[in-house]
Each structure stands twice: as structure tokens, then as C-alpha cells.
């Protein structure tokens, strides 16, 4: 086995340690800046070589001992053993590099990271997979760079209650010998266990996802989970798709069938299959930052919220605007946004179920503030072009991927001044970083 000894320069987007050696670029799993490592190459794409560490010849002083038994193989966290302040510095550098390299913009626009109040137990939603291997039931997360499942006993970024639910679920499934879905053969029943927690209301929701509606031994399954699983709501989702975990029709086995969250007096009901931000304390900081900018810049009038979900931003900002329109393609989320608007007694909001690209292609009204919170793939090209034609006075762009954010900001900078980019650490102990970019229409436009 051929090995190479080299020094890691930095961490790049994707969480890899970056090193150069003999005119080649190496992307190294689980290697931190300044570390001297012995590596083994696993594969390459053109001139980039992907490698793993065989031996740490000199470790980073910021590397702490990992306190999770699954850390070496689990793909859930990448930086769990790195000092938190160091994580924040690295994440800021990742964002700066993408803004500079892909956005061709000044990286001084990137502000310091808003940290998370909690760095363990912070996740309000976790998706665990069922697997049956060599006669053993597993409930867990995917291994790094693999579809194999790590059997999770205790996940540190999950709330403690999630670990208890996993443990109880395992006992029930083993006792009833329930059928686990196999994605290779596409046979079996149970696919995933998705757990949600409301941090403001301290509510729990357990969602069991099966391939079809049918569950063998359903009567016993239903009575045991209602008795043993400590959850305010228990949901059964039917999902035939193998590409998306949480979607499809569902029925409520126990409880109200929604989970409630509250921010500064605004209450939200979140249906089982709807998207919602995954870190309560950091989401609160994002909302506060939005309000601060709206007040400081005297923004009022009309707000257009694209990819509006269950109405989180629209509803929170509604009292500061004459009228708010939210656009979302997910029907379950739109329905929830309507009821959330009613719960909060708002009369100036409207939510529309529509594909964002189709909606905006026909839209021609004046926009004082545009909020975009697109999926990881960023804003669709047609949508970007139309935004530049519409010329909203101000844009709040919230992004979970610094690469697509940088690409989109490059295009928007044709007509907009990018005031700043503020990273928010929505996902501590991972390389993921949320970013908020504030843009103002250029006066010459």
C-alpha cells in the first residue's frame, strides 16, 4: 500500500482537508488544518485525489477526543472532535473562499459567524434509517461515503429523547419481527424513523415511514408504539420513493398530527412532512437579524417570500409590511402556512401553491423586500433572470450551500450591492453552514 506524508493546508467546502503535494491536489477525510498526516489514496477525479488518513503524525492542537462511540464511521458529523471556536473560524473561511472563487466577489463581505447556543442535542429533526443485516435490526444513520447503516445507540447532536425513542422502537420491532425494507431488492415495509422535537413547547413527534400503506402485524404494532413510545404525536407516512425520505400521504396514529413551535409570540404548526429550520436557537437569531435589518433600513410595503414553507419568515415579518405573499410548491406546507396565518390573527398575508419559476414568470408587481430560501441547488436560472427584471428594492437570500449562494450572488451583483453575508451556524459539528446575504438595488438601476 502506497502512502504519502503531507501537511493539511485548510478545510474546504464538503469538509475535506485540502493539501498539495507533487503538483497534485488531495482531499483528505477527517484531517484538520496544520496536521501532518500519512494518507492513502482511495480514488481520483481528474487531478483531484481523494484520500483517507492512515496515521496522524502530528495532530492539530484543536482536536479534542471524540466523545461519540460512532464518530469514526458515522456520516452524521464531521467536526465533532474539533474545538467549537475553531469550527466557526473554519466555516467562515469556507464561505469566504466560495464567495471569492465562485462568486468573484470581495470576501470582506463575509461577517463573523453567529454561533449556536447549543452544539449538542440541538437538532429538531433527525432521519434514521431501518436496516436488517445478518439477522440484526439496525436503526441509524449512513456511514461516511456509504449507504450502509451505522446502528446508533446514542447520537450527540440529537436531543436525548430521540435516543430513548430509538431504543424503545428497536425493542418493539424485534419483539414483533416487523419487516424491514431493503432498497436493493425493493422489498419489505419499514424504511425510516423520523423524529421531530419542538424546543419551545417541548413536544415530540415520531414518524414511521413505510413503502406502502400495508403493515403486517399492524394491530400489535399500533398498540405497542402508543404504549411504549414517548411522543405527543405518532404518524405513519406512506412513501414509495427511495430518493426523498419524508414525503407522501400520512395518517395520525396518536396525538394532533402537528408539532408546534413558537418564536417571540408567533406560533407555528408544522405538519409531519413539511420542511422547517433544524436548530431552534439559531433560527431565532436569523429571525431577529431579519427584523433588525427591516427596521434599520426602513423597509416596508410589499414582501414577496419565495420557497415560503409553512410561513416562518412571512408571518414573523408580516406586522412590519402592508402585504405579504408567500409562494411554495409543497401543498402540505401551503395549507399549514394558511392556518399559521390564522393562528396569529394576520390579515395581510396570502400563500400560494405554485412552482416558484412558473409563479415569478407571470409576476409584475412592485416588491420592496424579496426573501429567497431556496433548496441546496440554489435559485433556478430563469428565476434569477426574472428577479433582475423585477428589481425588488431589497433581497434577503438565505442559503444552506455557500457554493450555489456564491454563484447566484455573482449574477445578482449585476444590479445589486451586496451589503454583507452573515453565516449562521445552524449545524454545529458538521461542515454545513447557513448564510444570510442582504442585497440592495443599485441606485443606478
74 is catalytic: no
Are the C-beta atoms of residues 287 and 336 closer than 8 Å to each other?
no
Closest to 445 measured CA to CA, from 416, 419, 418: 416
Are the C-beta atoms of residues 179 and 144 closer than 8 Å to each other?
no
Closest to 272 measured CA to CA, from 227, 314, 332, 348: 332
Closest to 85 measured CA to CA, from 62, 107, 108: 62
Are the C-beta atoms of residues 188 and 180 closer than 8 Å to each other?
yes
- The catalytic residue among 68, 74, 77, 400 is 400
CA 416/CA 101 separation, integer angstroms: 19
Specify the 3-state DSSP secondary structure of 428: coil
CA 317/CA 444 separation, integer angstroms: 28
CA 343/CA 260 separation, integer angstroms: 11
Closest to 162 measured CA to CA, from 141, 178, 191: 141
Closest to 130 measured CA to CA, from 247, 210, 248: 210
Taking 3-state DSSP, the helix, strand and coil percentages for the chain, each rounded to the nearest 5, stand at: 25, 35, 40
CA 360/CA 178 separation, integer angstroms: 47
C-alpha cell at 60: 492539530
Residues noted as catalytic: 400
Amino acid at each position: 500500500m502506497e502512502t504519502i506524508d503531507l501537511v493539511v493546508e485548510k478545510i474546504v467546502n464538503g469538509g475535506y482537508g485540502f493539501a498539495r503535494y507533487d503538483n497534485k491536489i488531495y482531499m483528505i477525510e477527517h484531517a484538520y488544518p496544520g496536521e501532518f498526516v500519512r494518507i492513502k489514496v482511495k480514488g481520483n477525479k481528474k487531478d483531484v485525489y481523494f484520500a483517507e488518513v492512515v496515521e496522524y503524525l502530528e495532530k492539530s492542537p484543536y482536536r479534542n477526543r471524540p466523545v461519540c462511540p460512532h464518530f469514526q464511521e458515522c456520516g452524521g458529523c464531521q467536526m465533532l472532535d474539533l474545538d467549537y471556536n475553531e469550527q466557526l473560524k473554519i466555516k467562515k473561511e469556507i464561505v469566504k473562499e466560495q464567495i471569492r472563487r465562485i462568486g468573484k466577489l470581495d470576501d470582506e463581505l463575509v461577517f463573523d459567524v453567529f454561533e449556536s447556543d447549543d452544539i449538542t442535542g440541538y437538532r429538531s429533526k433527525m432521519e434514521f434509517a431501518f436496516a436488517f443485516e445478518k439477522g440484526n435490526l439496525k436503526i441509524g444513520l449512513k456511514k461516511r461515503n456509504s449507504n450502509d447503516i451505522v446502528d446508533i445507540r446514542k447520537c450527540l447532536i440529537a436531543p436525548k429523547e430521540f435516543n430513548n425513542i430509538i431504543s424503545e422502537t428497536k425493542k418493539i420491532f424485534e419483539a414483533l419481527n416487523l419487516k424491514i425494507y431493503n432498497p436493493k431488492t425493493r422489498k419489505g415495509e419499514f424504511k425510516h424513523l423520523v423524529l421531530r422535537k419542538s424546543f419551545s413547547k417541548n413536544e415530540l413527534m415520531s414518524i414511521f415511514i413505510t413503502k406502502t400503506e400495508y403493515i403486517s402485524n399492524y394491530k400489535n404494532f399500533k398498540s405497542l408504539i402508543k404504549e411504549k413510545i414517548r411522543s405527543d404525536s405518532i404518524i405513519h407516512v406512506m412513501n414509495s420513493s427511495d430518493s426523498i425520505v419524508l414525503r407522501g400521504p400520512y395518517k395520525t396514529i396518536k396525538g394532533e398530527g402537528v408539532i408546534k413551535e413558537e418564536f417571540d409570540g408567533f406560533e407555528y404548526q408544522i405538519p409531519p412532512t413539511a420542511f422547517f429550520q433544524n436548530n431552534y436557537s439559531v433560527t431565532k437569531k436569523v429571525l431577529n437579524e431579519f427584523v433588525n435589518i427591516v427596521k434599520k433600513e426602513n423597509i416596508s410595503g410589499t414582501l414577496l417570500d419565495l420557497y415560503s414553507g409553512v410561513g416562518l419568515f412571512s408571518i414573523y415579518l408580516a406586522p412590519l409590511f402592508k402585504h405579504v405573499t408567500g409562494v411554495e410548491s409543497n401543498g402540505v406546507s401551503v395549507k399549514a402556512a394558511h392556518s399559521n396565518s390564522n393562528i396569529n390573527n394576520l390579515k395581510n398575508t396570502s400563500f400560494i401553491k405554485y412552482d416558484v419559476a412558473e409563479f415569478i414568470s407571470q409576476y409584475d408587481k412592485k416588491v420592496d423586500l424579496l426573501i429567497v430560501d431556496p433548496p441546496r441547488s440554489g435559485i433556478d436560472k430563469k428565476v434569477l433572470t426574472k428577479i433582475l427584471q423585477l428589481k425588488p428594492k431589497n433581497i434577503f437570500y438565505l442559503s444552506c450551500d455557500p457554493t450555489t449562494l456564491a454563484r447566484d450572488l455573482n449574477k445578482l451583483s449585476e444590479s445589486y450591492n451586496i451589503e454583507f453575508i452573515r453565516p449562521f451556524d445552524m449545524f454545529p459539528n458538521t461542515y454545513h453552514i447557513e448564510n444570510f446575504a442582504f442585497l440592495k438595488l443599485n441606485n443606478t438601476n
